[in-house]
Structure 1
Amino acid sequence: MARAVWSRLGRILWLSCLLPWAPAGVAAGLYELSLTTDSPATTGAEVTISASLVAKDNSSLALPADTHLYRFHWIHTPLVLTGKMEKGLSSTIHVVGHVPGDFPVSVWVTAADCWMCQPVARGFVVLPITEFLVGDLVVTQNTSLPWPSSYLTKTVLKVSFLLHDPSNFLKTAVFLYSWDFGDGTQMVTEDSVVYYNYSIIGTFTVKLKVVAEWEEVKLDATKGVMQKTGDFSASLKLQDTLRGIQVLGPTLIQTFQKMTVTLNFLGSPPLTVCWRLKPECLPLEEGECHPVSVASTAYNLTHTFRDPGDYCFSIRAENVISKTHQYHRIQVWPSRIQPAVFAFPCATLITVMLAFIMYMTLRNATQQKDMVEVADFDFSPMSDKNLEPPSGVRCCCQMCCGPFLLETPSEYLEIVRENHGLLPPLYKSVKTYTV
């Protein structure tokens, strides 16, 4: 039994060793092709395509040691093949396109002695061919910013054109460069690198037109001048650092008076601004104030102080390049005039009190006149009962005119008696004669 197990195990090990040399049908699905190309390219230029056989999914499967077991097959029509080379488990071809377009190129790998067998691996790539020059416009600056396409004003920019010509198809060409920096400045150079300094902030588009000319021998052995052009552009966002904040506003104000402070930012418009009132001028910490988005170089702060004292506006502003702090001290004095919200009720109350006092004074005078008139026409003997005012008049006077009258009835009667003394006598004195 043990001998049979060892026999089977030996066969498995032997087959695993022979797997790299197995037919293509057995190795199919274990490998894949990795393709690289130096496209895009201009018409007439040579394009290089390479294909390499690798283990699928980066597995630990060992590649065959004998590279002659497999063969690469290419389909590249209508591109013209100018060269082919195979080395190890990789193959490289060179093709040329004479018309613009996107051309598919496919490749597959089969066993060397059976190219009709099932492929071990397949690959596919599309080559873009254009009739114009191929290249990139690159903008660099000594001070790099963490935001794409953002640069500093008043700092030199280096603008370069990088031609993409890996096959040296244009090695004998003469180039002419026409630059437009988007701010009204234009220039023509024979150099592919220029240096420029933007003095204002904003978004600009650098445009470049490249012209290449060279001589080429035609089929009839005559020479002709060939020309290719290309248009390129790059968008630039010029920013300026925040050099400071100019604060325009009062330094002395009264309570309950609305105050406006204007902030002028010396630099590019900041993205965020935040401020806070503090007893001392100290920098703002992160999260200490609520940021406000600002899209201009000026911003107005409004505030109304309710308590007197010394305060400090602590202001922080930042844009995509830098940040800055500024402070503004202000003294708040008590207001001599109370706010209208308190002045109106007080004025109303005072007016009502004055009207009430005038009403009571006039009413008191009227009642006293009535009492005098009653005393003039009362010819009955005077007594305390008759001198006592009517109950209705007495009640009204006690309720409304209490502060202006005497408190006791006796005092009131005394006043009435004094008033009667001033009236003319009701009878004439009789003289007596003795005979």
Structure 2
Amino acid sequence: MAPTVALRLGRLLWLAGLLPWAPAPAAAGLYELRVITDGPATTGAEVTISAGLVAKDNGSLTLPADARLYRFHWIHSPLVVTGKKEKASSSTIHVVGNVPGDFPVSVWVTAADCWMCQPVARSFVVLPITEFLVGNLVVTQNTSLPWPSSYLTKTTLKVSFLLHDPSNFFKSASFLYSWDFGDGTQMVTEDAMVYYNYSIIGTFTVKLKVVAEWEQVEAPTKGIVQKTGDFSASLKLQETLRGIQVLGPTLIQTFQKMIITLNFLGSPPVTVCWRLKPECLPLEEGECHPVSVATTAYNVTHTFRDPGDYCFSIRAENVISKTHQYHRIQVWPSSLQPAVFAFPCATLITMMLAFIMYVTLRNATQQKDMVENLESPTGARCCCQMCCGPFLLETPSEYLEIVRENHGLLPPLYKSVKTYTV
């Protein structure tokens, strides 16, 4: 196709070079020629091409009132002209292409009475002709999103095929549409418009095959004629950010590492922003540093240094919507800090108890030594005391002596030092 276009452009330049270059009139260079067309078109369909002469400085110049001062010249081969219409400052032709290709159409304007003069203005347009149907696949949704080809899941889509047929070439044709929505769903309809609802997020390609069929009654071909066309549109299905699920502790100690998992109920990417506050209040713009998250989960790590009641204020948004969430946390003093002081206290208490026991045992030992040094009473008195019981004892010392004689004494913890006088 490219060599064909180059060949035809070269032919146009060659034809333009054949134009005589005589002295230009005063109007040359003051105007430009604008060419518009309703192409592209299928083979056999009529195409309209219009050329209009306008002033270059946005209309401050006026065109001559007499339109017969200028003449429009067209080069359109191999397209066949089916009609032509001239106006005061414009010219319109109707052409038909019987073979597919990209065809350049050139037009220029000269003075009506000076064929040897330089053109007042010139222009050209490339007209695509195809053997297939020409049209567009249009997808619309009630909810508009801020970026192209993006739509919401679980919301009805309207998918329509718009046939490009300005000359009403397919007025007697019947159409059949085969739809493939890219998620495994296919259908065949006779209507150019369908409604569909995607239930999951993702990028899908809607494919459409159109078949047009009609009966041709005029030459050169008679009988049933059929034309087809394949069309597609890429769709990105997203979900609104319905909320944030927070998974993490609500009670923690100081100097302990805390990990909170945020699960986003919506489509990534998500912009996340969080901050610790004494109260659960929404975050304002610029109050925290946003982080871009490409998945539906994100971990927040923090270590508290001071005890107290805190609130994690979290803001998340995707290009569809935004939401806020809060998570309260109570921070208690770390258990390691009381243990540091508990060990010295326990040690001190143990030492004090040991000292008290030591003093008690020492006093008891001294009393036992004193009992051993007392003289033993007579056997008769001892017998009487043993029979009569401790209630008949005259003094406590006598009771201690009887107990010692009947039960024995523990050996002293230390031997008493005896003193000798020389």
Q: CA deviation at 1:257?
A: 1.1
- C-alpha distance in structure 2 between counterparts of 1:287 and 1:132, whole Å: 55
The answer to whether the aligner puts 1:125 opposite 2:125 as a matched pair is yes
Q: CA deviation at 1:57?
A: 2.9
1:361 corresponds in structure 2 to: none
Kept after mapping to 1: 8 A contact 2:41/2:47? yes
65 and 339 in structure 1: CA distance in 2 versus 1, 3 angstrom threshold? farther
1:85 corresponds in structure 2 to: 85
Q: CA deviation at 1:96?
A: 0.7
- Deviation per CA, 1:270-310, whole angstroms, max 9, x where unpaired? 42111111111010111111111112222111111111000
- The alignment yields a C-alpha RMSD, in angstroms, of 2.4
1:209 corresponds in structure 2 to: 209
Q: Secondary structure at the match of 1:247?
A: strand
1:204-353 alignment to 2 at 5 Å?
Answer: 204-217=204-217, 219=219, 223-338=222-337
- C-alpha distance in structure 2 between counterparts of 1:99 and 1:119, whole Å: 31
1:7-406 alignment to 2 at 5 Å?
Answer: 25-217=25-217, 219=219, 223-338=222-337
Q: Secondary structure at the match of 2:289?
A: coil
Q: Secondary structure at the match of 1:27?
A: coil
- C-alpha distance in structure 2 between counterparts of 1:70 and 1:216, whole Å: 41
Q: CA deviation at 1:236?
A: 0.9
- C-alpha distance in structure 2 between counterparts of 1:270 and 1:109, whole Å: 56
Q: CA deviation at 1:338?
A: 4.1
TM-score of the superposed pair, with normalisation by structure 1: 0.71
Kept after mapping to 1: 8 A contact 2:270/2:295? no
- Deviation per CA, 1:327-364, whole angstroms, max 9, x where unpaired? 00010000111499x99xx99xx9xxxxxxxxxxxxxx
Kept after mapping to 2: 8 A contact 1:258/1:303? yes
Structure 2: runs of 5+ lacking an equivalent = 1-22, 348-416
- C-alpha distance in structure 2 between counterparts of 1:183 and 1:277, whole Å: 43
Q: Secondary structure at the match of 1:212?
A: strand
Kept after mapping to 1: 8 A contact 2:214/2:225? yes
Q: CA deviation at 1:172?
A: 0.9
Q: CA deviation at 1:28?
A: 1.0
Q: CA deviation at 1:26?
A: 2.3
- 53-62 or 151-160: which moved more? 53-62
2:405 corresponds in structure 1 to: none
- C-alpha distance in structure 2 between counterparts of 1:339 and 1:235, whole Å: 64
- C-alpha distance in structure 2 between counterparts of 1:108 and 1:179, whole Å: 46
- C-alpha distance in structure 1 between counterparts of 2:181 and 2:285, whole Å: 39
Structure 1: runs of 5+ lacking an equivalent = 1-22, 351-421, 430-435
Amino acid at match of 1:37: T
Q: CA deviation at 1:267?
A: 1.9
- C-alpha distance in structure 1 between counterparts of 2:269 and 2:63, whole Å: 59
Q: Secondary structure at the match of 2:26?
A: helix
- C-alpha distance in structure 1 between counterparts of 2:93 and 2:59, whole Å: 27
Q: CA deviation at 1:269?
A: 2.5
- C-alpha distance in structure 2 between counterparts of 1:194 and 1:277, whole Å: 50
Q: CA deviation at 1:35?
A: 1.0
- Deviation per CA, 1:354-386, whole angstroms, max 9, x where unpaired? xxxxxxxxxxxxxxxxxxxxxxxxxxxxxxxxx
- C-alpha distance in structure 2 between counterparts of 1:264 and 1:236, whole Å: 25
Kept after mapping to 2: 8 A contact 1:105/1:125? yes
- C-alpha distance in structure 2 between counterparts of 1:43 and 1:251, whole Å: 73
292 and 339 in structure 1: CA distance in 2 versus 1, 3 angstrom threshold? farther
TM-score of the superposed pair, with normalisation by structure 2: 0.73
- C-alpha distance in structure 2 between counterparts of 1:46 and 1:233, whole Å: 26
1:15 corresponds in structure 2 to: none
Amino acid at match of 1:46: E
Kept after mapping to 2: 8 A contact 1:35/1:49? yes
Deviation beyond 4 Å, 4+ runs, structure 1: none
Q: CA deviation at 1:135?
A: 0.5
- C-alpha distance in structure 2 between counterparts of 1:229 and 1:116, whole Å: 48
Kept after mapping to 2: 8 A contact 1:108/1:122? yes
Amino acid at match of 1:235: S
Kept after mapping to 2: 8 A contact 1:256/1:339? no
